Structure 1
Amino acid sequence: MPNLPPSAPSAAPRNEYTVDELARVTDTTVRNVRAYQDRGLLAPPEKRGRVGVYDDTHVSRLKLINHLLARGYTLANIQDLIKAVDEGHDLRSILGLETAIGGRWSRERPRKYSLIELLQMFGDKASPSALTKAVELGLLERKGLSFVSGNPTALAAGATMAKEGIPLADLLDAVGIARPHFNAVAKALVDLVVHQLDRYEADALPPPADVPALADAIWRLRPLASVLVESEMNRALEEASGDYLGDRVAAIMEKKLARQAEGPDAAESRTAEKRVATKKGKTKP
């Protein structure tokens, strides 16, 4: 009997799902599956009679959609990304560019605080109105009975300033007043950083070959923008402090000169008035 050639290896079995099973496996709903199909985000199932059969490629696509939605993308954004992938872009490179532009600029890790911890930090200054204001400004975020700060260092600095006697309400008002100016500065600097994208069409992604280099350039520019902000802030603080000190010294000098112009009799009269006031205060029942 002649030797038969070895049979070709069988294809790996694929998992198959009904629409209900697909929704359950991917932690979504049947309604979402239908909606994604209607928008072209998800390929239609294989039809077997009246039953639609999905497979692992649908699972992968749905998990990607869920991941992108969790990162803040809209369905329109996701549609553009998937179209870009179909046109030859590497999705990891696109997400890398998105992270370089929109990722957190601070390396601080958010920290959760209980109400007791905040009271220990701020003492009696942590009033309900102050906590509400801090939440409105985004300095704290409510998480059930706890609070989360995205910048624990700034929170600790505020607590120290409050303990030094600065009213917490005034400190929060100062943050609210300064924020629009910081937002304007931040927008100007972000515009400089992402200016690298201006050479491309506004409604199109850069060519696939350019995306990794662009992301790398933006990562290098980001810390330089932060250095510029810190440098300018220090300069402004020095000028403001100098102006305040100069105004304060000038006011003291003006007062001293005014007293000298009044002559010694006026000075003695004020001294006598102070002595009488002090004596009355000591003998007050």
Structure 2
Amino acid sequence: MPPSSPAPSSPPGSHDPADATPRNEYTVDELARVTDTTVRNVRAYQDRGLLAPPEKRGRVGVYDDTHVSRLKLINHLLTRGYTLSNIQDLILAVDEGHDLRSILGLETAIGGRWSRERPKKYSLIELLQMFGDKASPSALVKAVDLGLLERDGLSFVSGNPTALAAGATMAKEGIPLTDLLDAVRIARPHFNAVAKALVDLVVHQLDRYDADALPPPADVPALVDAIWRLRPLANVLVESEMNRALEEASGDYLGDRVSAIMEKKLAHPAKGPAEERGAARKNKKK
């Protein structure tokens, strides 16, 4: 996970970046992509005061995970039927320092991205170079349907370039790309269930409070720190369990394969040298 440059100062109640891994940083296009919105919406939310402006570095605006979590919150509230005016009132109350300000730190700790992968754009030629003749039109359609690639004009964008590179290496080793994509499709619901269980564990810290009430402001810093500490531990747990399952599955496969070989050998014992010479003489007489 590559480090990024230090982010601007955190809003009150948020996690102190000096005590954590540096935040992800995004251009406006990347921000829109990772939050499943549009650049036009990002600009509109900034104009209405719903989203803080980016940090300016020369002529480039740089966004970070606080913007990601804010956009996720806005999108979630919109899907729940709230209007932009309702959300603007909420944000105004937050920015004016009311008790709702305490949601800011939790907003980033819970809603911020778990991955530090930055989206990367690929031309069709680059994908063909990576996957060779395995990059068939049907495979590209499957990858787009799974969200592993996103069309961007004549190019494609991957939200996880490391996984894409791993898939390309596996394809070059002879694994059919369509089979690999089918495996992702089959495994995804199970990963979703695992993720739900782990997120529930991480945010279990909030269960001591009423579901329709924010924690007291005095409790927020400790809650935020606890959630930030639990997030990487959840990733460790997933990796550990995945390694265990892979070892178990590969061991079972190896055992089954060896058993099949042994059964074949026992059913058809190999002939010794004397038997082979005798068989050869009989064939010669014929």
| TM-score, structure 2 as length reference | 0.65
1:190 aligns with 199
Q: Per-residue deviation at 1:212?
A: 2.6
Give distance in 1, aligned partners of 2:24 and 2:197.
51
The 1:72/1:184 distance shift into structure 2, 3 A limit, reads farther
After superposition, the C-alpha distances for 1:220-254 in whole angstroms (9 at most, x for unaligned) are 10000000000000000000000000000000000
1:267 aligns to what? none
1:90/1:257 Cα in 2 relative to 1: closer, same or farther (>3 Å)? same
CA deviation after TM superposition for structure 1 residue 96, in Å: 2.6
**Residues 1:67 and 1:4: Cα distance change in structure 2 (over 3 Å):** closer
Mapped to 1, the partners of 2:171 and 2:30 lie a distance apart of 56
Separation in 2, partners of 1:49, 1:152 = 27
- In 2, Cα distance between equivalents of 1:197 and 1:21: 31
Q: Deviations over 1:19-71 (max 9, x none)?
A: 99999999999999999999999999999999999999999999998999899
CA 1:25–1:100: 2 relative to 1, 3 Å:
closer
Is the partner of 2:93 in helix, strand or coil? helix
Query: Contact 2:94/2:101 (CA < 8 Å) preserved in 1?
Result: no
What's the CA shift string for 1:135-183, capped at 9, x where partnerless? Answer: 1111111111111111111000000000000000000000000000000
Largest Rg, 1 or 2: 1
SS in 2 for 1:262: coil
Q: Which moved more, 1:92-101 or 1:116-125?
A: 92-101
**Residues 82 and 129 of structure 1: CA distance in aligned 2, closer, same or farther (over 3 Å):** same
Q: Identify if the C-alpha distance between structure 1 residues 261 and 95 changes in structure 2 by more than 3 Å, giving closer, same or farther.
A: same
Moved more, 133-142 or 255-264: 255-264
Q: Is the 8 A contact 2:65 2:112 kept in 1?
A: no
Whole-angstrom CA distance in 2 between matches of 1:13 and 1:245? 43
Task: Measure the CA separation in 2 of the matches of 1:38 and 1:109.
Answer: 26
Does the residue aligned with 1:33 lie in a helix, a strand or coil? helix
Residue of structure 2 equivalent to 1:18:
27
Deviates more, 1:142-151 or 1:217-226: 142-151
| Alpha carbons 2:95, 2:101 under 8 Å: kept | no
Aligned length: 274
Unaligned runs of 5+ in 2: 1-7, 13-17
Q: Output the CA distance in 1 between the equivalents of 2:20 and 2:145.
A: 58
Residues 247 and 18 from structure 1, CA distance in 2 versus in 1: closer, same or farther, beyond 3 angstroms? closer
Q: How does 1:30-109 map to 2 (within 5 A)?
A: 75=84, 78=87, 81-82=90-91, 85=94, 89=98, 93-109=102-118
Shift of 1:211: 2.1
Higher relative contact order (CA 8 A, sep 6+): 2
Post-superposition Cα deviations, 1:65-117, rounded to whole Å, max 9, x if no partner, equal 89998999964872673486389546665233112111111111111111111
Closer, same or farther: CA 163–88 of 1 in aligned 2, 3 Å:
same
Q: 1:198 to 1:103 in 2, by over 3 A?
A: same
Identity %: 90
Alpha-carbon separation, structure 2, partners of 1:174 and 1:155: 14
Are the counterparts in 1 of residues 34 and 159 from structure 2 also a CA contact under 8 Å?
Answer: no
Query: Structure 1: any 5+ residue segments left out of the alignment?
Result: 265-271
- Call closer, same or farther: CA 1:74–1:153 in 2, change over 3 Å: farther
Instruction: Quote how far apart the aligned CAs of 1:3 are.
Output: 48
Deviates more, 1:181-190 or 1:14-23: 14-23
Indicate if the aligned counterparts of 1:89 and 1:208 stay in contact, CA closer than 8 A.
Answer: no
**2:128 & 2:235 partners in 1: Cα distance?**
32
Cα deviations by residue, 1:120-140 (Å, 9 ceiling, x for unpaired): 000111111111111111111
- In the alignment, is the contact (CA less than 8 A) between 1:88 and 1:208 conserved in 2? no
- Cα distance change of structure 1 residues 110 and 19 upon mapping to structure 2, 3 Å threshold: closer
Task: From the superposition, tell whether residues 19 and 228 of structure 1 become closer, same or farther in structure 2 (CA, over 3 Å).
Answer: closer
What SS does structure 1 have at the residue aligned with 2:126? helix
